[in-house]
């Protein structure tokens, strides 16, 4: 993905209830207050990743836990359940950079600290855009402004906690904090989260004071990419525990970049509903938590939704005190339409908890959108509803020149609309999870999705560290599969991008991938295929993949354009039963640069290179599942190249700020897939 002179190596309703054996006690979660013992460049790490993310089997269902509770659904960013109370944190907060790492020692987390002299910042936003003139310009100077402010920064706000929350389970939800964040409520440390693009929710028991005004403080950290962004001898800044552990070629936006809110739910609450719809049935698993001191003995009603033809099913729900359980229901939905790109029909299932009797007062409700569709692999073809797929796809980065990664709904509509306009039916979320808006949009518009996590450019040492001790890669994989489980548009789980295989490192690499694959398989009731974006067509772990995915840059970084076809033939000969997906291919062009299609860097050259690769892929559609172009739009990066373009990589169909099409845009739009048959 780099520029050429800096190439990187490349049925009947089931009415059953779980007995005591189907419950687990909620794990203890220590109040951990960590002293600041590092400098402003590297953030210290605990022995294992700080959220305690893990999966447990509960009544035969894999359930993801984080911070001592079930990782809840994050639909609160757009949905208001009638049994719950919400307090939005999307507002102006007090804000201050902390380059000397003095805030913790000076009590910036304390409710008594006077922050009136601090600046104001919007949440959500990326602090990169606070004061960086010309951020989206190719001609502005590189290395200046808050886009290059690294280390710690603090956010503070006050919240008036309703007195009615005394008998509630309360959590603070953040859709993203880049790169890591620690949270305090009235000076009580609630926890730390690591991973810039995955949502998290912190329970506030012990710190909440219903009926009072309380102070919420968040300390966000971003590691510097380089010791100096403009010096010719600048050194990269790395941290073996972080993911990615070194500078990568996309922009690491910092701050509270997505929405945040406080959610008060009943003490007996539905944390998550997993839904798998196929073959005229809906299988639902409602994960119920009991945070109270008394056992709960009630009922759960699962309504498969209007238009499904199914009737609500009622099952017993018995959840011991301080425990989590799973209530399983299978409902026949005889009139439910199938979801497909051509007809993206979605349904809304609602789970309702009641006490004493099914028709009694509601205790809690939780709804979720889902679709009826079946994914299979047969004869080296990836199939949706038993029809073979050929994926005409695009990679894309979640950013705009105006807001960075803190995009508005209108910006998402415009960006994703570009993808539809060129006839793409598939997007790869390279190389991190997106805002929930994206998955909802894809469900509604029939866009197929390969979801990805931040595991980019790791080497053998980091792969070993993550697998054997730190566990952040596994946590990212688990939360991806858990959070996006119900979206019919998501058809592939991506495990890594271009990570390295050192000499003799294949066993470590295989163990790392196997660990992440096992994680997603442990929670996905729909058994979506697993793949990754390898940097080689000779990956020693391809036997572990359900779909073989690799990035190829023949004729650009290495070899000739014409090498792609024979390479695909060789991979197919070695793995004849597996579909192959080109997860990346592309070249670069400076918009407005024209000349022969043999002259590197011209728009004509970029378009011709795409066409040469596309043709070879389409000719092999009997075993190649698709082609994913790099990339929709020029994108920002802090890596040590492209500084002459203000850190903008010019590999897109469109320019970065103006979103103006290049010639390759039209070539991609006109590219025809294989004939159906």
For residue 292, the domain's CATH number is 2.60.40.10
- Give the chain's end-to-end CA distance (angstroms, integer): 34
Decide: 455 and 495 in contact? Cβ < 8 Å.
Answer: yes
Say whether pLDDT at 36 is over 60: no
Checking 24-27 for CB contacts under 8 A at 24+ apart, the result is 24/56, 24/58, 24/63, 24/323, 24/324, 24/325, 25/320, 25/322, 25/323, 26/68, 26/69, 26/289, 26/291, 26/322, 26/323, 26/324, 27/52, 27/65, 27/68
Residue 676: per-residue pLDDT: 67
Span 347-362, average pLDDT? 93
Residues 327 and 241 in one domain: no
Q: Give per-residue pLDDT as tens, 211-248.
A: 999 999 999 999 999 988 988 888 899 999 999 999 99
Helix (H, G, I), strand (E, B) or coil at 649: strand
In a domain, 68, yes or no: no
Burial pattern 237-248, b for ≥16 Cβ within 10 A else e, equals eebbbbbbbbbb
In a domain, 134, yes or no: yes
Decide: 160 and 213 in contact? Cβ < 8 Å.
Answer: yes
Reading the block at residue 182, the tokens are 């620690």
Residues 509 and 437 in one domain: yes
Torsion on CA atoms 515, 521, 527, 532, rounded to nearest 10: -30
**Residue at a domain's end among 264, 297, 325:** 264
In a domain, 50, yes or no: no
Residue 535: per-residue pLDDT: 97
Neighbours of 420 (CB within 10 A): 12
Neighbours of 5 (CB within 10 A): 6
Residue 623 CA to residue 613 CA, distance in Å, equals 16
Residue 615 CA neighbour count, 13 Å, CB half: 10
**Among candidate residues 195, 219, 206, 28, the one with its CA nearest the CA of residue 108:** 219
Residue 35: per-residue pLDDT: 29
Say whether pLDDT at 26 is over 90: no
In a domain, 322, yes or no: yes
Residue 641: per-residue pLDDT: 81
In a domain, 37, yes or no: no
In a domain, 598, yes or no: yes
Whole-angstrom CA distances from 505 to 4, 459, 464, 617 are 27, 9, 9, 31
Residues 477 and 447 in one domain: yes
Residues 312 and 426 in one domain: no
Q: Give per-residue pLDDT as tens, 128-158.
A: 999 999 999 999 999 999 999 999 999 999 9
Residues 632 and 503 in one domain: yes
**Residue at a domain's end among 232, 264, 296:** 264
Q: Could you give the number of structural domains in the chain?
A: 3
Q: Give per-residue pLDDT as tens, 467-500.
A: 999 999 999 999 999 999 999 999 999 999 999 9
Between residues 634 and 6, which one has the greater pLDDT? 634
Run of H or E including 567: helix 564-574
In a domain, 372, yes or no: no
Is the CA virtual torsion 478, 480, 486, 488 positive or negative? negative
pTM: 0.95
**Residue at a domain's end among 210, 240, 264:** 264
Between residues 502 and 375, which one has the greater pLDDT? 375
Residues 424 and 460 in one domain: yes
Decide: 256 and 90 in contact? Cβ < 8 Å.
Answer: no
Residues 240 and 318 in one domain: no
Residues 324 and 472 in one domain: no
Residues 200 and 154 in one domain: yes
Domain extent, residue 248, equals: 82-264
Residue 144: per-residue pLDDT: 94
Span 318-338, average pLDDT? 97
Residue 553 CA neighbour count, 13 Å, CB half: 22
Residue 119 CA neighbour count, 13 Å, CB half: 12
CATH assignment at residue 208: 2.60.120.260
Residue 350: per-residue pLDDT: 98
β pairing state of 490-497 and 448-451: parallel
Residues 541 and 636 in one domain: yes
CATH assignment at residue 440: 3.20.20.80
**Among candidate residues 101, 250, 112, the one with its CA nearest the CA of residue 182:** 101
Residues 300 and 226 in one domain: no
Residue 6: per-residue pLDDT: 31
Residues 223 and 356 in one domain: no
Please state whether the peptide bond connecting residue 384 to the residue before it is cis, i.e. omega within 30 degrees of 0: no
Between residues 247 and 25, which one has the greater pLDDT? 247
Backbone angles phi, psi at 80, to 5 degrees: -120, 100
């Amino acid at each position: 993905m780099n520029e050429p002179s800096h190439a990187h190596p490349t049925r009947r309703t089931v009415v059953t209830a779980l007995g005591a054996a189907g419950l687990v006690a909620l794990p203890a979660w220590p109040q951990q207050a960590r002293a600041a013992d590092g400098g402003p460049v590297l953030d210290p790490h605990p022995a294992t990743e700080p959220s305690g993310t893990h999966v447990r089997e509960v009544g035969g269902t894999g359930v993801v836990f984080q911070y001592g509770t079930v990782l809840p659904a994050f639909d609160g960013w757009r949905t208001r359940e009638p049994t719950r109370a919400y307090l939005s944190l999307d507002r102006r907060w007090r804000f201050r950079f902390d380059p000397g790492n003095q805030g913790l020692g000076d009590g910036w987390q304390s409710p008594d600290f006077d922050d009136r002299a601090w600046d104001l910042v919007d949440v959500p936003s990326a602090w990169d855009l606070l004061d960086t003139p010309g951020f989206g310009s190719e001609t502005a100077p590189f290395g200046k402004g808050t886009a290059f402010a690294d280390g710690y920064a603090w956010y503070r706000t006050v919240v008036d906690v309703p007195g009615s929350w005394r008998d509630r389970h309360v959590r603070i939800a953040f859709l993203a904090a880049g790169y890591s964040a620690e949270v305090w409520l009235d000076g009580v440390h609630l926890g730390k989260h690591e991973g810039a693009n995955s949502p998290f929710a912190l329970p506030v028991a012990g710190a909440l004071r219903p009926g009072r005004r309380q102070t919420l403080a968040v300390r966000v950290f971003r590691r510097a990419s380089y010791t100096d962004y403009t010096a010719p001898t600048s050194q990269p800044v790395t941290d073996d525990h972080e993911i990615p552990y070194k500078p990568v070629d996309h922009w690491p936006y910092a701050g509270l970049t997505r929405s945040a809110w406080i959610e008060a739910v009943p003490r007996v609450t539905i944390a998550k509903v997993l839904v798998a719809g196929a073959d005229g049935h809906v299988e639902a698993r409602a994960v119920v938590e009991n945070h109270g001191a008394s056992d709960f003995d009630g009922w759960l009603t699962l309504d498969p939704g209007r238009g499904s033809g199914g009737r609500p099913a009622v099952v017993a729900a018995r959840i011991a005190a301080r425990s989590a359980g799973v209530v399983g229901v299978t409902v026949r939905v005889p009139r439910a339409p199938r979801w497909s790109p051509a007809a993206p029909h979605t349904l809304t299932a609602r789970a309702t908890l009641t006490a004493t009797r099914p028709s009694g007062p509601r205790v809690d409700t939780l709804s979720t959108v889902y679709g009826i569709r079946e994914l299979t692999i047969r004869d080296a073809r990836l199939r949706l509803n038993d029809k073979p797929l050929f994926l005409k796809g695009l990679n894309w980065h979640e950013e705009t020149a105006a807001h960075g990664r803190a995009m508005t709904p209108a910006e998402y509509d415009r960006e994703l609309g570009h993808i539809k306009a060129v006839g793409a039916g598939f997007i790869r979320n390279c190389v991190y999870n997106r805002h929930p808006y994206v998955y909802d949009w894809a469900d509604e518009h029939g866009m197929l999705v390969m979801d990805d996590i931040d595991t980019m450019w790791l080497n053998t040492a980091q792969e070993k560290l993550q697998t054997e001790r730190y566990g952040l890669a596994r946590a990212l994989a688990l939360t991806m599969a858990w959070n996006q489980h119900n979206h019919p548009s998501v058809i592939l789980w991506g495990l890594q991008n271009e990570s390295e295989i050192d000499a003799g490192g294949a066993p470590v690499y295989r163990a790392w991938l196997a660990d992440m694959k096992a994680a997603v398989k442990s929670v996905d009731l729909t058994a979506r295929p697993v793949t990754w974006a390898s940097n080689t067509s000779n990956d020693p772990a391809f036997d572990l993949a359900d779909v073989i995915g690799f990035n190829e840059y023949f004729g650009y970084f290495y070899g000739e354009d014409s090498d792609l076809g024979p390479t695909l033939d060789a991979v197919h000969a070695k793995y004849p039963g597996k579909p192959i997906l080109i997860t990346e291919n592309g070249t670069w062009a400076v918009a407005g640069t024209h000349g022969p299609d043999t002259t590197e860097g011209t728009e004509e050259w970029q378009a011709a290179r795409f066409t040469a690769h596309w043709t070879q892929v389409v000719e092999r559609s009997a075993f190649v599942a698709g082609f994913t172009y790099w990339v929709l739009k020029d994108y920002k990066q802090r890596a040590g190249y492209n500084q002459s373009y203000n850190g903008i990589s010019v590999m897109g169909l469109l320019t970065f700020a103006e979103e103006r099409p290049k010639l390759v845009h039209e070539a991609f739009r006109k590219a025809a897939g294989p004939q159906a048959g």
